[in-house]
Structure 1
């Protein structure tokens, strides 16, 4: 498995009794970050059923296996400087997950993608890396995540049936659904977060072996509000307005995240960083 040639090693020096700890003497001191990388990765196949906590652990193990020269936090329990942005819920796949990492050595983004992706478990696929300046107070990546575009496969439901249910949903002003949370049942308005959507016209055969036949495909753009409206909330809303009950569980995939434009489309959240990098290199 490919890996970077060396890893940044943190040291620990214990001062004599009565001598105060300096910045360099603090437990596990780390060199300052010299590079920040914004990464896009996919969560595919059975890995969609993995919790975000376990995905984060797998990602950090891959960083260690690939010997990526990570920057670490200070203190007695240092952590690699990794920031997750808008992670998708358990049970859904995604082609548009984002994370930021900070490094103590400058790496070529394309080389990082090659080496780190090889260290990832199957189904966790690194797609892209873009470098951004460190400590310049630029725009936070999370501020660019206004909405998500979801593709929901609904086996056993014909496109015409799905279209009728979808039209009923978008015609409603409010569609309240219930979601079970760790604090009990919560009622949310699923309709308020829906920006736009459509049912794909091309006939699709159900990928389910237990429910052969048609498979309706709903593409929906959902604004990222608090509380978040998830794909299963959209399905619950279809059940409320049209009694749509898929015979087997649907499969949802997040296809994109980004800022909304006037037509309900999403801009690429990494595009400004690519443009800034190209300008600096040109």
Structure 2
């Protein structure tokens, strides 16, 4: 018996890029959990999604540059493809109502083309540590003076070692009421260096305490000025 070919879906007529935040307890949402919540949200919001062709069509959603589980973020991005043209602001309002508080849609714009992932070239982070400023300053000075800082992290392909120093554009310290804070500007590359890799490379003794990571921005990186642009701009 010849298997019937699946129906071919029409190509998308519009693409929207979305910036959202992970806040509060929702920072512990994994990427898989968020993708499930987001797919349910676009269905509840009745966003006219375009679907892939094949025997198991799925909504055309592209995720890029997701923050690690446990990190808060003000700059997460996703792109969706639609079957009909809509007003981006109406999609933002509908998704705000459909997603739980803490997964907050901040902006929706029409895609200008190209790859969203290619625009996410660097990110800026705040890292709050339960350690005194002098201790952290000494560790940062050693880190920045080193030509490379090798760290290891477990990946899907097993334990992998890489240089955490080469990805760091700048790293500054300041005091807080509960300890100290790092301001980190991180260049994206392969392999991807995460903010927790930088903390590992600092060699600080944290005991059972956990740093608090917050991504403030990610986007195209201007080498001349050392600034991050807006990927939705």
Q: Same fold (TM over 0.5)?
A: yes
Give 1:257's aligned residue.
218
Give 2:14's aligned residue.
35
Residue deviations 1:25-77 (CA, integer Å, cap 9, x gap): x44x5443221100001111222222211110100000111111111111210
Note the residue ranges of structure 1 that are not aligned, 5 or more in a row: 1-16, 207-214, 272-282
Structure 1 runs of 4+ aligned residues shifted over 4 Å read: none
Residue deviations 1:113-153 (CA, integer Å, cap 9, x gap): 111111002321110011136xxxx3212111111111111
More strand by share: 2
Give 1:3's aligned residue.
none
Q: 1:221 aligns with which of 171, 174, 185?
A: 185
Q: Find the residue that maps to 1:192 and give its secondary structure.
A: coil
Give 2:104's aligned residue.
125
- CA separation in 2, counterparts of 1:183 and 1:81? 27
Note the residue ranges of structure 2 that are not aligned, 5 or more in a row: none
Give 1:179's aligned residue.
153
Superposed CA RMSD in Å reads 1.9
Give 1:101's aligned residue.
80
- CA separation in 2, counterparts of 1:35 and 1:182? 34
Q: 1:205 aligns with which of 166, 177, 189?
A: 177
Give 1:211's aligned residue.
none
Higher RCO (C-alpha under 8 Å, 6+ residues apart): 2
- CA separation in 1, counterparts of 2:231 and 2:137? 30
Q: Find the residue that maps to 2:221 and give its secondary structure.
A: coil
Q: Does 1:266 align with 2:222?
A: no
Q: Find the residue that maps to 2:196 and give its secondary structure.
A: helix
- CA separation in 1, counterparts of 2:110 and 2:158? 42
Q: Does 1:245 align with 2:217?
A: no
Q: What TM-score, normalized to structure 2? A: 0.92
Q: 2:163 aligns with which of 189, 195, 209?
A: 189
- Specify the structure having the higher radius of gyration (Cα): 1
